[in-house]
Amino acid sequence: MSARILLVEDDEKLGRQIVEHLTEAGLEASWLRDGGTALGLTPQNYALLILDLMLPGAHGLDVLKRWRSQCDVPVLVLSAKQDAVVKVRALELGADDYMTKPFWPEELVARVQARLRRPVLARADRVECGPIVLDVAARRVFVETAEIELTKVEFELLHALALRPGAAIARSWLVQNVLPPERDGTERTLDVHVSRLRKKLGSAGARLGTVWGIGYKLRSEDAT
Amino acid sequence: MKLATRLALTLLLTALPLTAGLVFLRERAARSAELAALVDYARGRMESGGRDVCEEDPEFFQDPPARPLADRGFGRAGMPRDPLGLGPGVPRSPRGREARLDPHPPRAGGPPIPGSTRFELWAYNPDMRSDNPSAPVLDAALRAELEGGARLASSAFVLPERGPFARREGFQAAVRMTWETGPCAIVLARRIDIPGVGATAFDRFGVPALLALVLVLVTLFAFLPVVRRVRELTTGVRRSAASGYVEVVGARGSDELSELGRAFDSAGAQVRAQIEQLERRERSLRAFVENTTHDVMLPLTVLQGHLVALERRSAASEVSEPARVREAQEEAHYLGALLENLGAAARLEADELPIARYRMSLNRLVERAALRQTTIARGKGVDLVHALPGEEVEVLADVTLFERAISNLVHNAVRYGREGGHVAVVLEVDGDEFVVRVLDDGPGVSDEELARLHERSYRTEAARRRHPTGTGLGLSIAKEICERHGFGFQLRRAEVGGLEAILRGPRARPRDEDSSAT
């Protein structure tokens, strides 16, 4: 995955570090050091913007306001302040998320990737997760072009997990939303359905993982 | 200007015109009474025989006569005691000064008696001329008035000086007689005052001036205690202010001045209370800085130790120990969390006014809190997972504090969980409520500690004996943050072992207002 990311950060060390980590994660990052220049650039040229609030030249919130008047590119705000008002103001002005210093590079990369991934959620009629493809309208499921037969509950289960690939879904939620309400389903019943579904998925069944303390998830990436 | 001076001046400025006005009125009343008396005197005297004497011998008429009366045949009987036989004819003026007068008017040529009054009558014809050459000429004012047709005219006059006690002032009235013709048609009645010793000035101004003086003195006497009390009050206020409002002014009595004193005392008490509050805050701030410094130094020292060890090994091209690096990371992470917790504790301790609530996405918040610990969890080999509901869950809360609460629970679970264990953070929806669960399969907390965490005073105690390995501070701060938000906070043993923390509270409804709207 390669996407252009712009970082606006005046601190030399932190800026270099962030760029380094983003590049390592396979992201293409450019770096601006002052707010004045950031005010004038075209935000549409980037997939995501990372903005520090305390900047020379122009305040980060002003930069954010200017960018928001031009487009909806996701903006991740960096803040060293524990002041709730500043964060709320940033969110109100259209920031997608904020990070409070100090943070781990890993955390930042995860957040950036989460932001870049988000639009996938919108797809509804056809859901893909690795080799698994769901034709929602026809209620058919294919694993690497081979169709597999699923019961109604198994299809709903797979659909719910595939809609949010990689995300852990709570057992209780699945019991309430996937199991047929007329049959008093329990988490045990759910576990039985999951293990049957896993078998039917064959080689792709390994993607359907158990999440400790939570429930299940469907991995979009190949297990490493 | 001092109060007393101002009061004295005011009194003086009031008393002087008042006295003058009183004197003037009194003079006027006296003057008109005197005039009436003079006119009565002139008419009575002339009508009871004076006219005959006058018309008989106008060249010599003057009363009292200049020559012995016997020679002139004016008032034969009982003379000279009462030349006209009119009885006590001396006019009495309202001043009552005549009591001192000689009842026997002295002769015109006789030596004047100091302090006495003399009365004279002179006659004139209708043309205002007298047949008696020694009669005084009528002055212009009198003539003008009489020519204007007046029945009588009056004026004050001054006689030319003649020796000591010579300055004589007087009052005269020219009266037309009823007969209107002859050499005695107009009679001039004169009252001549012969100045006495220390007499008239006091007579004229004495009483009003005395009255005014008494008034001034009485007022000053009444006011001086007030001035004295104002001075006392001032001294008291200065003393109280100098003592930092510890000493009270302590005014006695129940009048306005005492009220002022008490008002100052209550104002002073308020100032004192504010000072005390500020002092308390300052003490707490100082304690916070000291505690923070102390608490930060410890993990920082550990971190420095690790860094030095890493530097030595890399200089010697030895393979560094991942465990040491992880520990260094953990200390750095702990430092950040500690500072945030101390900040939160300071805010909670300062009893800040109601928590500012902002509408925010709980999904993002839970995600942030979980991702924040990822690095540490990975280093420890702890499997940290989180789950969000498909829908967006909003909540009204203080972003910083509530995120701190959840971060504390996750950090705690990761930090004190067992190596290779699990930590799960789950956001769920239960009707109109959100539920955040943080559970781990670590050793959990002891029953004793679990019980203590539900005591209210625990946080202060935990804060006092903070220790980097203690679980107290983070959990109890999380608990207090939830309580201040009105959210439920529960700690229990998880079914899977370890500890489970459950936060529960209302979801923000679309119409709910947050603090940024106000």
Q: Which residues of B touch A163 (CB under 8 A)?
A: 390
The answer to whether the CB atoms of B372 and A107 lie below 8 A apart is yes
pLDDT at A25 over 60: yes
The answer to whether the CB atoms of A102 and B368 lie below 8 A apart is no
Rounded to 10°, the helix B3-45/B200-242 angle is 170
Q: What is the pLDDT of residue B207?
A: 76
d(CA A171, CA B428): 11
Q: What is the pLDDT of residues A181-219, one digit of tens each?
A: 877 778 889 999 999 999 999 888 889 999 998 999 998
**CATH numbers and ranges of domains, chain B:** 3-206 (no CATH), 270-352 (1.10.287), 354-517 (3.30.565.10)
Q: What is the pLDDT of residue B476?
A: 81
Written as one letter, the residue type at B110 is G
A80 contacts chain B (CB < 8 A): no
CB B447 within 8 A of CB B272: no
CB B15 within 8 A of CB B145: no
Angle at A157 between CA A156 and CA A163, to 5 degrees: 85
A133 contacts chain B (CB < 8 A): no
0.90 exceeded by pTM:
no
d(CA B25, CA B253): 45
φ, ψ at A74 (rounded to 5°): -55, 140
Gyration radius (Cα) of chain B, Å: 57
Higher pLDDT, A113 or B472: A113
> How many angstroms separate the CA of residue A51 from the nearest CA in chain B?
17
The answer to whether the CB atoms of A107 and B387 lie below 8 A apart is no
Q: What is the largest CA-CA distance in chain B?
A: 165
Written as one letter, the residue type at B242 is A
Q: Which conformational region is residue B502 in: left (phi greater than 0), alpha (psi within -120 to 50 degrees), or beta?
A: beta
Of B431, B462, B428, give the one whose Cα is nearest residue B445.
B462
CB A54 within 8 A of CB A10: yes
CB B487 within 8 A of CB B480: no
Q: Which residues of A touch B424 (CB under 8 A)?
A: 168, 211-214
The answer to whether the CB atoms of A85 and B356 lie below 8 A apart is yes
Higher pLDDT, A103 or A7: A7
The answer to whether the CB atoms of A167 and B388 lie below 8 A apart is yes
Q: What is the pLDDT of residue B79?
A: 36
d(CA B511, CA B304): 51
Contacts 24+ apart (CB under 8 A), A10-19: A10/A34, A10/A52, A10/A54, A10/A55, A10/A56, A11/A52, A17/A105, A18/A50, A18/A105, A18/A108
User: Which residue is listed with tokens 């991934």?
Assistant: A117
Q: What is the DSSP string of B195-243?
A: P-SS-HHHHHHHHHHHHHHHHHHHHHHHHHHHHHHHHHHHHHHHHHHHT
Written as one letter, the residue type at B87 is G
The answer to whether the CB atoms of B400 and A164 lie below 8 A apart is no
Residues 87-116 of A with CB under 8 A from B: 87-89, 91-92, 97, 99, 102-104, 106-107, 110-111, 114
User: Which residue is listed with tokens 């100045």?
Assistant: B195
Written as one letter, the residue type at A48 is L
Which of A187, A214, A217 is best to mutate for the B interface (most B CBs within 10 A)? A214
Per-residue pLDDT of chain B (518 residues; tens, 9 = 90+): 777 788 878 888 888 888 888 888 888 888 888 888 888 888 888 888 888 888 888 888 888 876 554 444 444 333 344 444 444 445 544 444 433 333 444 444 455 566 677 788 888 888 888 888 888 888 888 888 888 888 888 888 877 666 555 567 788 888 888 887 888 888 888 888 776 655 556 666 777 778 878 888 888 888 888 888 888 888 888 988 888 888 888 777 788 888 888 888 899 889 888 888 888 878 877 777 777 777 777 777 778 877 887 888 887 877 767 778 888 888 888 888 888 887 787 777 766 567 788 888 999 899 989 988 888 898 889 999 999 988 899 999 988 889 999 999 999 888 888 888 999 999 999 989 999 999 999 887 777 777 776 665 444 444 444 444 445 678 888 888 998 899 999 988 887 778 899 999 999 988 777 766 54
SS3 (DSSP) at B78: coil
d(CA B177, CA B185): 5
d(CA B195, CA B166): 8
Of B424, B408, B327, give the one whose Cα is nearest residue B375.
B327
SS3 (DSSP) at B191: strand
A164 contacts chain B (CB < 8 A): yes
Q: Could you tell me which residues come within 8 angstroms of residue B429 by beta carbon, excluding any fewer than 6 positions away? A: B389, B391, B393, B435, B507
Examine the predicted complex and report whether its ipTM is higher than 0.85: no
Which of A120, A178, A211 is best to mutate for the B interface (most B CBs within 10 A)? A211
Q: What is the pLDDT of residue B426?
A: 94
Residue of A92, A168, A212 lying closest to B516 (CB–CB): A92
**CATH numbers and ranges of domains, chain A:** 4-120 (3.40.50.2300), 123-218 (1.10.10.10)
Gyration radius (Cα) of chain A, Å: 22
Q: Could you tell me which residues come within 8 angstroms of residue B247 by beta carbon, excluding any fewer than 6 positions away? A: B239, B240
d(CA B481, CA B402): 7
φ, ψ at A112 (rounded to 5°): -60, -45
Q: What percentage of chain A reaches a pLDDT higher than 90?
A: 34
Q: Could you tell me which residues come within 8 angstroms of residue B439 by beta carbon, excluding any fewer than 6 positions away? A: A213, B413, B423, B424, B426, B494, B496, B498, B499, B500, B501
Residue B223: Cβ-neighbour burial (10 angstroms; 0-12, 13-18, 19+): middle
Q: What is the DSSP string of A38-78?
A: HHHS-GGG-SEEEEESS-SSS-HHHHHHHHHTT----EEEE
